[in-house]
Chain A
C-alpha cells in the first residue's frame, strides 16, 4: 500500500450530505472485471445517458486532477464497495475530509492509502469556506505526521486521527503480513475453540 505522508493539490468542494457509494461508483455502468475506475467515478452525475458531460464539479477544468475531496455529513454511506475508493483514487484523490464518514467506506479508505479526515464544527466551516473560495485555484496541503491542513492563504487547521489509523497510513504496511505475525495466537484460538465450541470450527454439510 502506498504510504501517506504529505499531499498537496486542488481540493474539490462537494458540500453535500449522505453521498453514497452507488453514486460514487455506479457499478451497473461498469463493464467487465477491471473497468476504468476513474472514468466510472460519479458517472451518472457527470454524464447524460447519451454520454455528454454535465456541469458536475468534476467536469470543470480546475478539478481535473484533484487530490482532496471535501464533503459534508455521512460521506460514503450505502453499499460496501471498495471500488468507490478505487474510483476516487482513479482520478488521484488521496484524502477525504467530511464532517462524518460512513464506517465501511472509512475502513476501505484506510485499506487503500486514502486518508479519511473527520472534521467538525468551526474548523470544518472554515475549511469548507476556504475550499469554496479557492475554487481549485489554490493548492491545499494535508500533512498527516503533523495532523494539519494548510493553504498558502494562511489556513491552518488541526485534525484528529486515531494513533492506529495514523500509523497504518504513514507506514503503508502490508496488513496481511502484520496479522500473520499473530499466527500462533490464531492457531491457539482455533485449538481452544475446537475443544470448547467445536461447532464453530467445522461447517459440516450433512448432505454430502
Chain B
C-alpha cells in the first residue's frame, strides 16, 4: 500500500508525508515529532531559554531526558564524581522536573546513552519521527524511525511546539550487496560505506540502507549502521523495518500492547520503499569479502581493511595530498605503512555506536580466557544501565574484569570526552566510537575507529590485530 495516493513512494516519503503538519510561508514544512529525547549537554540551555521566554513544554508526555554526556562512568559514581559535569546533570534534572519531563537520572535502572535507551525501551518505533539535540539521533533509523539531530534553538522550538521546521531533503539509497564474513558486522559495513561516500557524500539527503546485507544484519547492527549516517554528512538514515524489527520491539517497556500493537503492526508492515519508487541518487556497495574495517586517519572516511596499509600521499590525487600528509603525521604513520602490528595504548568499547549487548558479546568472545596486554588501558562502558544488567546476567562483566578491563557505568565517556574521560597525547586508541577527529578524545590522541571484535583483539594483544587470527 502506498500512503501518497497510489504514486510509488520511498520509505522516507511515507514517513515524512504522514508527519507533515503544515507549510510555513517561507516554504519549509512543519514536521511533527513523535518522540523527543534530550540530553544533559545541550538541554539545560534550552530549558533556561524557554523559561526566560515564559513558554511551557507543549508535550512533556512525548519528551524524555537522559543523563549521558557529562556523567562519570567509573564504578560507584555519583553526580559529583566528575565535578565539572555536576552543573549539567543538576540543571537537566531541574529543567526536566519543572517541565514535567520524565528524567532517566543517575541511578535509574534505565539510565544510559539516549540513542541506546530510546530503542531499547521501545520509545522509538518504526515509522515514528524522533528528535534529539545530538547528531547521532539518526541511530534509531535502524528501527525504521525517521530521526533528526538538531541544534539547541531547534530543540527549544520542538519543546515549545512539538514540530520541527525543515526543508524536504533529497533521497539516497545505499544498496549493500553480497554477504558478510566472520567478525564483520554493522560497524564494518558503515565504515565501508563511508570510505565510498566520503564525509559529505550524504549531505542534503535522507539515506535508506537497503539490500541483502541489511536484511541479514541484527537489529543492533542496523542501529550501528544508521548511527554513522551523520558521518556521511546526512541527518537521517533509515532501514525499512521487517519481521525481525517487530519481534525485537515486542514487549519492550514503551512499545504498544494489545489491540494497539496489532494496529501498529499492520501499519508497520506498509513501511517499505515501493518497488517502482525512485531515489534522487543510488549507490551500490559490495560487501562480499569485506574484512574487519578500521580508520587510519582523522576523518571517519579514512578507512581501510585490517590487513591494509595507510595510503601513500605520492599515489593520491594532487588535491588530496596535503590532507593525507597531515592525517598521517597526526596519526604517527608512515606512508604505506601496514596498520596491523602497531602498538596500542588504550582500548575503548562503548558509545552509541557499539555498546549494545551483541557488541559486548562479540568483544567478550575474543577476550574470554585472555588478559589485557601489559601497558594497555582497556575500558568497557555499556551503552545503557539495561545493557549492563543483561551483560552481567550473562557473566560478561566477569570475563572483562578478569582480563583486566575496567567495567564501567553507562554514559558517553571518552567518545567525546565531555565527562573528562580522555586519552593521553600521542596515545594510540582503538575505539568503537564514531569520530576520529584530531583531539576529539584528548589532545594529540590517535583514534582508530573499529568494531568491538577488533577493539578486543587489540586489547589482548597490545597491537592492532586481525581478530580472525585469534579465532582458530
Contacts and interface: CB of A to CB of B under 8 A. Distances in A.
Interface of A: 17-18, 20, 22-23, 26-28, 31-33, 44, 49, 73-74, 77-83, 85, 100, 102-104, 107-108, 111-112, 162-165, 167-168, 175-176, 178-180, 182, 185-186, 189-190, 193, 197-207
B26 A179 contact: no
Contacts of A205: 102, 253-254
Interface stretch (B34-42, B330-338, B376-384, B394-402): B34-42
B117 to A, nearest CB: 13
B281 interface: no
B26 A168 contact: yes
B418 A104 contact: no
Given A32-B87, A186-B162, A197-B267, A108 B134 contact: no
A107 B154 contact: yes
Interface in B143-162: 149-154, 156-157, 160-162
A22 B435 contact: yes
Nearest to B442: A28
A200 B34 contact: yes
A178 B165 CA distance: 10
B17 interface: no
Interchain residue pairs A-B with the least CB separation, the first 7: A164-B26, A111-B153, A82-B151, A80-B135, A108-B151, A199-B256, A185-B22
A89 to B, nearest CB: 12
Given A112-B153, A199-B256, A182 B204 contact: no
Contacts of A200: 34, 125, 128
B45 interface: yes
Mostly, the B contact residues are: loop
Nearest to A174: B53
A175 B256 contact: no
Given A74-B199, A77-B200, A22 B437 contact: yes
A186 B256 contact: no
A124 to B, nearest CB: 14
B35 A203 contact: yes
B247 interface: no
B438 interface: yes
12 contacts: A73-B200, A77-B200, A80-B149, A80-B150, A104-B151, A163-B26, A175-B165, A176-B157, A176-B160, A179-B160, A186-B21, A186-B163
B61 interface: yes
Interface string B419-438: 01010010000000001011
Given A27-B418, A82-B153, A104 B135 contact: yes
Given A104-B150, A182-B24, A200-B128, 18 more contacts: A20-B435, A27-B416, A28-B418, A44-B439, A79-B134, A79-B135, A80-B134, A80-B149, A167-B25, A168-B26, A176-B157, A178-B25, A180-B160, A186-B161, A189-B32, A193-B32, A197-B18, A202-B61
Contacts of B35: 203
A102 B157 contact: no
Given A28-B418, A203-B123, A22 B153 contact: no
A199 B439 contact: no
B260 interface: yes
B263 interface: yes
Given A28-B417, A33-B88, A167-B26, A108 B21 contact: no
B443 A102 contact: no
B153 A108 contact: yes
Contacts of A176: 53, 55, 156-157, 160-161
B254 A204 contact: yes
A79 B30 contact: no
A207 B121 CA distance: 11
Nearest to A197: B267
A189 B41 CA distance: 31
Contact of A111 (B30, B151, B418, B443): B151
A190 to B, nearest CB: 8
A100 B204 CA distance: 11
A74 B261 CA distance: 43
Nearest to A32: B87
Contacts of A79: 134-135, 416, 435
B312 interface: no
Contacts of B373: none
Interface string B200-242: 1001100000000000000000000000001001110000000
Contact of A77 (B30, B149, B199, B323): B199
B141 to A, nearest CB: 15
A199 B230 CA distance: 28
B151 to A, nearest CB: 4
B362 interface: no
